[in-house]
Amino acid sequence: MNLLFVCTHNACRSILAEAITRATAGDRIRVASAGSHPAGRIHPLTVQYLAASGLPADGLHSKGFGDLGDFRPDVVVTACDSAAKESCPVWLAYDAITVHWGLPDPSHLDGSPADREAAFQAVSHTLEARIRALLDGPFETMDSHALKRLLDSLGQLD
């Protein structure tokens, strides 16, 4: 499966989702992330969190849809509410299953370093739970309707 995580700036949530999927899915899922209006850099707190969590950041960078090359997603997951309201490029959504997994943006939280760390942990734990639940099922053999139902239900997991 080719899985694309989309967030407007591709600087925090979609980057976390890509890193977590790479770390947990092995070769079962090919993953990428992109943004409709990429920031051009990963948010510094995201970089810090990835390093502190031991999640590999190799090859991760903020990019737009045009930077995906030949990557054609089977599934597009929007991770922020703004991106969910935007239309995907026609070539991107062609035959792709689209779902929304709304998550708060931990990089925009005001508060102490401990509060920010807790926010990153909460979003990361939610993403990991969703990805692990996907991996627990036989998604490779599901028809598109069953896969869409599964992915939609995973968007409700905390």
Q: Give tens-digit pLDDT for 72-129.
A: 999 999 987 654 455 545 445 568 999 999 899 998 888 888 998 899 999 999 999 9
Q: What percentage of residues in the chain have a pLDDT greater than 70?
A: 91
- What's the topology of domain 2-153? Rossmann fold (3.40.50)
Beta-sheet strands, E only, within 68-117: 75-78, 97-100
Q: Between 61 and 80, name the one with better pLDDT.
A: 61
The C-alpha torsion from 109 through 113 and 115 to 118, rounded to 10°, is 100
Task: Tell me the pLDDT band of 28, cut-offs 50, 70 and 90.
Answer: very high
The alpha-carbon radius of gyration of the chain (Å, integer) is: 15
Neighbours of 61 (CB within 10 A): 14
Distance CA 146, CA 137 (A): 11
Identify the H or E element spanning 54. Answer: none
Enumerate the domain spans of the chain: 2-153
For residue 77, what are the CA distances in angstroms to 48, 71, 140, 155? 24, 15, 17, 9
Enumerate the β-bridge partners of residue 64.
35
Q: Note the Cα 156 to chain centre separation in Å.
A: 15
Q: What does the pLDDT read at residue 90?
A: 44
pTM over 0.85: yes
